Amino acid sequence: MTFSKEEITQLYRKRARHYDISANLYYLLGLREYAYRTFAIRELNMQRGDTVIEIGCGTGLNFRLLRKAVGSEGKIIGVDLTPEMLSVARKRIERNNWSNIELVKSDAGKYQFPDRIDGIISTFAMTLVPEYDQVIRKGATALSPGKRFVILDFKKPTGWPMWLIKFFVFITRPFGISLDLAERHPWESINHYLKMIQFKELYFGGLYVCIGEAP
């Protein structure tokens, strides 16, 4: 059964302190999370001085890679619903003396994007947002022409036996994943509101990266 928004918030409140450690444990299962995050951020095609928004920034695992892409003269806006996750992200920012990262506590579905931004990214978060379609619609409207919206997330793999799919859901359930989420297809919204540049399956179809570009 799909977690409610309140349940997702409580789950990530409890996991915030040790989130980075638990996320890295998936390397033991062959999930090349860092490599996938690197690929997704590279596909944003960011330039130094650009402004990028991350929906569901969590503890800021992507900040170092994003900052490398936009430089110290660029700007990163991290949006997340959970105060505890943002608290860890804030400590990461302070520890690294990053001065160009703004954190926003907001429900993704209610977040108001600034105009004419240079990129939007969401990694392992958009599928958890019930209002993902309106988030993508509003984000697409805010993007400057030629700029990109990139999503890296889980999906129900095709061709897997059901027992293996259930096992995959079981090991990702600590991050709010349930089989019901298979009915949410953010890549279709990307294709509807933007020009789809690429849809690529990863991890044998259990993950995907989709890239939409503003006309």
Indicate whether 108 pLDDT > 60. Answer: yes
Cα–Cα distance measured from residue 113 to residue 197, given in angstroms and rounded to the nearest whole number: 22
| Low-confidence winner among 4-13, 58-67, 149-158 (lowest mean pLDDT) | 4-13
List pLDDT tens digits, range 123-143: 999 999 999 999 999 999 999
- Which residue type is seen at 131? E
The model scores a pTM over 0.75? yes
List helix spans (H) across the chain: 5-15, 19-24, 33-42, 63-70, 83-96, 132-142, 162-172, 186-193
Fold of 5-213: Rossmann fold (3.40.50)
Per-residue CA distances from 29 to 7, 25, 140, 181 (Å): 26, 8, 34, 21
Minimal CA–CA distance to 88: which of 69, 103, 76, 68? Answer: 103
Tokens read off for 93: 């920012």
List pLDDT tens digits, range 160-205: 888 877 776 676 666 666 667 678 899 999 999 999 999 999 888 8
| Low-confidence winner among 49-53, 60-64, 164-168 (lowest mean pLDDT) | 164-168
Query: How do the domains of the chain map onto residue ranges?
Result: 5-213
Q: What percent of the chain has pLDDT over 70?
A: 80
